[in-house]
Every structure is written in structure tokens, then in C-alpha cells.
Amino acid sequence: MIKLLSRRELQELYADNDLYQYDEDSSYNMVGVLSVPLRDCLAIAYDAKVGALNDEPIQAHELVVDMLMHYYELDDIGTIPNQWLRMYDELDVDGDETVYYDSRGVVIPRQVYYPAKAITNNILRTVGRWHPYAYKMRTNLDDISMNQGYLITMKVYGDNQTLESVSGWRDTAQYISNNDGKITRVSGNNSWTIDSSTNRFASVGELQESRAYTECKVCQTFNKYRTNMIPIRSIKKDRGLRWRNRKNVCHTCVIAILNSKYRTDMGEYVDIRFKGTIAFDGVDTLLMAPLNTFSEQITYDNLLELRNEFGRFFRKFPNVFGVSTNVFYELRPIPEVDHDYRFETGLLNYSYTFPIFLTSVAQYGYESSSVGYDWQDPIWYRKNGPFYGVELECNVKQNRPDYRDIHVVREQAIKLFHPAMYPEGYTQDGSHQLIYAKRDGSLNGTYGVEFVSQPLSYNYWVNHVPEVFWQYFKDNFLARNLGECGIHVHIGWDSMTVPERYVFLTILEQMQEQNSELLEAIAGRSSNSYARWDSLVYRGAKDRAFQVALEKTQTGSNPKYNAINTQHEATIELRYFQGNTGRNSILSILQFIQTLYNFAGYITSNFTWDYGVDAPPESLQKWIDDIRDDVDNVILSYMFETDDMDFMYKRIGEQRLRSMINNTFEEGTMAMVRYHSMLDMRVLALTTNEER
Ligand SMILES: [Zn+2]
């Protein structure tokens, strides 16, 4: 209970502790000193938080009012030599006529109401500055010692009778602990903390000197680290709660954070900064993360049997970590990488170029060859490729399961892209790696990275990029909601014949002009400043797409931000695609391009065309006309008929595909009915698979 100190107690106190001698100070008229147990201070601060949060009148204030009313009714104000309340009696309170009531509805006299307010403010202001954040983390303060107190000194100055709190700013000791009845000074400064092993307040300095103690990174109380604390890592974003190395956190805090998810803001206050998730890797890594960082909650067996400090911690809370009761999220162990190869893992300049190797899947292992051999004709490309060089622009996630530094995470992604033992199993013209990291001016300076791959065959992308890379990439990088991040795909000019290129470019140009729903669905965005759907330019050409296909370039200004970028000598760069880190989405883009490539091969395979001299053959011209008439109709039909569309199907989704069918094919036509029923089969097949 808050205690008003008598004049005699005060004099003893001040004499004992070398405090300033208020009797000798003539600049004020009256002084009142109040002793408030520290637990009550925390409770008052806690109630104020809850009250503020719930938009209620400050209950903390009412607590103090009730306390003072108790004295008032006992007439202790007369019997206890209490300067404190009396001095309010003599103050002019600005003629305020408002009548206040306590929690029972009894009118509160002014000499009670105003001191209560001043005391409450003093406590809130001072406690708010205190070192320990324990009261922000803990609802249960019962364990905190009642036998220690905080002194609030108030003085009335001069003739105009202004009231001023001196606690918290005078160079005298404001913080006094009443150890076993005797008031003694603990510290002259604000450097107070809680010794969580005894639940008593103590000076930071003393605890820092004690080797057994260390400060909890979360609640900032001190504790015995060998018995009551556990090292954990944190990827929280909040100030003071963000660190990557192992730091000691007290057991109580870990439990409080595990439970914080279920603590509502009504009544059971927990500072929003402390709300979080804790994940465990099953062995020796605990990771604190923001809520919703992880999706899979798992139950570990035998947590209580772990023979390390983590096991000790779990055994202390058998109700939380016992069989099938533990509430951890899974922290995926960081995949191990073990390569002999010396990878270039640094962030390369945007302008850096690496030697190009075309990598494909061979009968035994893989084959990489540099470009420019004369046997690399479109027929060879069709057999082994085509090869897609992919640029993946993305950011390292700020909240990522791999808590290590940004550059380590980039390195890890590069290494995981390669199979273990790389380049064993690869027949190569020269030493090279399959993917590099570059910086890009349009990306975030800290987190941004552009991964640039070698040209890898479609088969390689779909079946041979390691699953562990895809998982890691998705977990630790993001791109989808970042406008500046795109996916760019390079395909070699020489991998297609001129007629094939002509068809390929005509399709893309028509998709742009006709605002293709299919292109937009795959790209994940429409024309934008990073990839403008501008027409091809070839001055004086009768047929732009044909001329560009023939000359492998455009005329005039065709900025590199055009969705079809022909500024590279060796490749067509397609820049349509919104960034993404998911395997399916990335492969759907390649599947889409592969579909156009296959289609171009398909409709140009059954004729010879002396394109330098003759107009396109009739059969080709008919296709070109169809594309110009309705490009989605042509490509969707081809897609459904060849049924090579798994990734695109997942990317676009059943509903959107159905609506595309309805928009593209006429009601009641064979095509419409057929494609809907093909979708039905697909849905059925997927459902059956899932049920299995
Ligand atoms: Zn703690």
C-alpha cells in the first residue's frame, strides 16, 4: 500500500541517506513525501496502459484516488502529519467546479483528487523511464517484492504556490528501497532494474558487476543466465528487439512471447512490440520472429529429453513443452551447402558480363557449351534447348527464416542453385557457375538483388533446378508485391529460324495490341514503366515483326524498358513479368514462352519459304491473319490441345481460365465446350491427387 511518510520518518530518512536537507531550503513552503511500493508503481503503469489502449478513463488514477480516500476517511490526513494533502488544500485550483467521484460514487474532495492526479502522473512519468520493461511483458506482478518502495517528493514553492514534483530530476536519491522495514538508498540514478531471480529491484551497476547475471534482451531485467536464461536469435523488426546473433533471454520472456499471440489487447495488455512467434529447429536454435512469419506449426517429440540448455529450459515448463503440447513453429534448418567449387558470390555490378554457356540436360549428366559454334543451328537448339537466361529481381526478406546477414543469404541462394558436388556431372567447355548476383539501380540499395542465370534449357529449369533452392528462394526472398521487381527472360535469336522468330514476335506484338488477357495473367501486370507494351519499331518496314525477326533489331529509339527489348545482340529480352519467387510462377512464365516457341515451330515446320524473295506461304499467312484477328484464341487453343500447361494452369487459376475461355470462344462452340470439360478433368485429377 502506498504510504505517506511522517515528518519524523522523513527526517530520519534524509539524515540517514545524505539526502538534501529540505528544512534548510527556504525557497518552498511545504514538502510532502510519499512512499509507493515498486510493485504498485508497475501495477499503476500497467493499468494506465490497458486503460489507454481500451480508450477508458485512466484506471490507474482511480487506484490512487481510492488509496487516498482511504486515508481521508480514516482521518489520517489529520493524524498522520501529512504535508502532502494539506498543501493541496491551500492551493488555488483555478476555480474548477467539476465534482469528481471515486469508484464507489463518493464525492472526492479536491485535496484528494488533485494530489491523486499528481501522484499518478509522477509515477507514470518516472516508471515509463525505468529500465525494466518487465511490466510490458508480464501481467502477473504478484511475485514482485512489496517490500521495496519509490519515494515521490512534491514541493510547493514561493508566494504563487505552484506545485512541483522534484522526483526524477533532483540530483538527490529519489529511489529508495525499504528493505525489511528500513528505508535505504539503492541508487542515486535511474539505473534500476529487476533482478528476476529474486523479483527484487536492484541497481543495474551492482548486477552488471555480478558474473552470474546478465541482462535479458527482451525485458531488460537481470537474471542468472546459467539457470534462468536461454540464448535465442531474433528477426523481429521492432527497435531493440532485432538482433541476429545469439542473445540471452530469460525463460519467462520466451514463454510470454509464445503466449503473446493469444493475449488480447483487452485487459491482458502486452506491448505490441513484444508480440511474436518463436520457432525452433528441434536441436539448438530458437528464433523470435514477428507473428505470421511461419506457416507450419509442428509438434516436436522428446523436447524434454534434449541434453542441452534447451532441454533444461523445456523441462522447466513441462506443461508447455510436454508431448504434443508444445506450440513451436518449425524453424527450417538452414540447408547445408558443401561445394568444392569457388563460386563468385559477391554482388556484381550491373554492367558485369560473364561468359555465356548454354546448359542442357544430356543423356548422362549435363552439358554446357559456349556460344558461337556453327553446329548450334535452330535444329540443334530445338533438340537441346531452347535456353532461357532468366533475371530474377527481388529483395532479401527482412523477416526471413535464414536469420544470417544479407550477403550470406545471397551466397546461400547462389550455392543452392547448383547441385551438390557441382560441377561433377557437367561436361563443360570452361569453368562457370549457373547463376550470379548483381546489383541493379532500380532495386532497393540494401535488400535488392538481381539473380542472373546462364541460359538453361527448359528441361533444366523444370526438372533440374534443385528443390532446395526453390524452397530457400521463396522463404528468404520476396518480389511479388514490389513494383520495381521484375522477371526478364532472354531467348537467343539464333535458337529460332527467321519464320519462327517472325511468328514469335507477331504473337507478342499482337498480344500487346489486343491487350491479351492471357499475357496479362501470366505477366502478373499490364504495361508499366518497367516494361512498356510498345509496338515494335522498324522504319519503312511493311511488316515490322518480320523485319525485326530478319534483322534481329529495331530501328530508332526502342528503350530498354520496352517489354520486348531487342537491344542485345544475341538475345530477345522479354520484360513483361512481375517479380516472383515462387517456383510455379517462375516456371509458368517459361512454360508460356516455351508454348509460343513450340507454336512458332509447329506452324512453320511444313513448308520451305524463301523469305528473302517471296511473300509468306499461304498456310503461314492464314495463321498470321488468325493471330492478328484474335491472338488469345489461337494460343489458348494451342495450349489446351497440346495440354502442356500445368504451371500456367496453376498460375492463372481455374476461375480466371474459365472466364478467359468464355471471353475468347463463342458461346456453344465445340472449342468452348471442349476446353471447359478439359478443365473439369484437370480439377478432378487434382482433387483426386490431393485425396490420395
Ligand atoms: Zn526477460
CA distance 475 to 485: 17
Q: What is the pLDDT of residue 193?
A: 74
Q: What is the pLDDT of residue 171?
A: 33
What type of residue sits at position 514?
Q
Domain presence at residue 418: yes
Domain presence at residue 621: no
Domain presence at residue 144: yes
Centroid of ligand 1 to alpha carbon of 287 (angstroms): 15
Higher model confidence: residue 208 or residue 680? 680
Centroid of ligand 1 to alpha carbon of 286 (angstroms): 15
Centroid of ligand 1 to alpha carbon of 253 (angstroms): 4
How far does CA 333 lie from the centroid of its chain? 18
Centroid of ligand 1 to alpha carbon of 171 (angstroms): 30
Contact (CB, 8 A) for 130 and 185: no
CA distance 133 to 271: 10
Centroid of ligand 1 to alpha carbon of 220 (angstroms): 6
Domain presence at residue 578: yes
Torsion of CA 19, 21, 22, 27, to 10 degrees: -120
Using the 3D structure, point to which of 296, 330, 364 is the last residue of a domain.
Answer: 330
Q: How crowded is the C-beta side of 242, counted as CA atoms within 13 Å? A: 10
Mean pLDDT of the region 664-670: 92
Query: β-strand 286-289 against 277-280: which pairing, if any?
Result: antiparallel
Centroid of ligand 1 to alpha carbon of 288 (angstroms): 13
Domain presence at residue 337: no
What is the sign, positive or negative, of the torsion defined by CA atoms of 570, 647, 596, 573?
Answer: negative
Domain presence at residue 517: yes
Average pLDDT of the residues of the chain: 81
Centroid of ligand 1 to alpha carbon of 260 (angstroms): 14
Q: What is the pLDDT of residue 23?
A: 44
Centroid of ligand 1 to alpha carbon of 300 (angstroms): 24
Contact (CB, 8 A) for 271 and 53: no
- 320 and 231 in a single domain? The answer is yes
CA distance 179 to 119: 23
Please give the backbone phi and psi of residue 13, each rounded to the nearest 5 degrees, phi first.
-60, -50
Centroid of ligand 1 to alpha carbon of 246 (angstroms): 14
Residue 637 clears pLDDT 60, i.e. is over it = yes
Centroid of ligand 1 to alpha carbon of 563 (angstroms): 53
- 260 and 351 in a single domain? The answer is no
- Residues 201-240: tens digit of each pLDDT: 777 788 888 889 999 998 888 899 999 999 999 988 888 8
CA distance 531 to 533: 6
CA distance 220 to 201: 12
Using the 3D structure, point to which of 580, 604, 628 is the last residue of a domain.
Answer: 604
- 553 and 431 in a single domain? The answer is yes
- Residues 511-564: tens digit of each pLDDT: 999 999 999 999 998 888 888 888 887 777 788 888 888 888 888 766 677 888
Centroid of ligand 1 to alpha carbon of 280 (angstroms): 18
- 104 and 170 in a single domain? The answer is yes
Q: What is the pLDDT of residue 682?
A: 86
Higher model confidence: residue 449 or residue 183? 449
Residue 313 clears pLDDT 60, i.e. is over it = yes
Residue 303 clears pLDDT 90, i.e. is over it = no
Centroid of ligand 1 to alpha carbon of 72 (angstroms): 39
Confidence of residue 257 (pLDDT cuts 50, 70, 90): confident
Number of domains in the chain: 3
- 74 and 207 in a single domain? The answer is no
Confidence of residue 473 (pLDDT cuts 50, 70, 90): very high
- 206 and 184 in a single domain? The answer is no
Please give the backbone phi and psi of residue 448, each rounded to the nearest 5 degrees, phi first.
-70, 145
Higher model confidence: residue 685 or residue 248? 248
- 488 and 566 in a single domain? The answer is yes
Q: What is the pLDDT of residue 155?
A: 59
CA angle 289, 294, 298 (to 5 degrees): 110
- Residues 24-36: tens digit of each pLDDT: 444 555 555 667 7
CA distance 547 to 542: 8
Q: What is the pLDDT of residue 170?
A: 40
Centroid of ligand 1 to alpha carbon of 59 (angstroms): 26
- 168 and 259 in a single domain? The answer is no
Residue among 263, 257, 319 nearest 286 (CA) = 257
- 122 and 227 in a single domain? The answer is no
Q: What is the pLDDT of residue 13?
A: 60
Residue 300 clears pLDDT 50, i.e. is over it = yes
CA distance 158 to 155: 10
Centroid of ligand 1 to alpha carbon of 281 (angstroms): 21
Centroid of ligand 1 to alpha carbon of 646 (angstroms): 50
> E strands within 2-118?
3-4, 28-37, 100-101, 107-108
Domain presence at residue 642: no
What is the sign, positive or negative, of the torsion defined by CA atoms of 645, 648, 650, 656?
Answer: negative
Among 36-40, 160-164, 492-496, name the one with the lowest average pLDDT.
160-164
Write b or e for each residue in 209-226: b if 16 or more Cβ atoms lie within 10 A of its Cβ, otherwise e.
Answer: eeeebbbbbbbbbbbbbe
Domain presence at residue 392: yes
Confidence of residue 487 (pLDDT cuts 50, 70, 90): very high
Residue 565 clears pLDDT 80, i.e. is over it = yes
Centroid of ligand 1 to alpha carbon of 317 (angstroms): 16
Q: Is 13 left (phi over 0), alpha (psi -120 to 50) or beta?
A: alpha
Mean pLDDT of the region 592-618: 92
Mean pLDDT of the region 422-435: 90
Centroid of ligand 1 to alpha carbon of 13 (angstroms): 33
Contact (CB, 8 A) for 593 and 572: no
- 357 and 379 in a single domain? The answer is yes
Q: Which three cell numbers stand for residue 223?
A: 537474471
**Bridge partners for 396 per DSSP:** 477
Q: What is the pLDDT of residue 169?
A: 38
- 386 and 277 in a single domain? The answer is no
Q: How far is CA 438 from CA 350, 363, 529, 554, 585, in A?
A: 6, 32, 21, 27, 22
Provide the residue range defining the domain that includes 36.
Answer: 3-190
Q: pTM score > 0.75 for this model?
A: no
Using the 3D structure, point to which of 297, 330, 363 is the last residue of a domain.
Answer: 330
- 512 and 579 in a single domain? The answer is yes
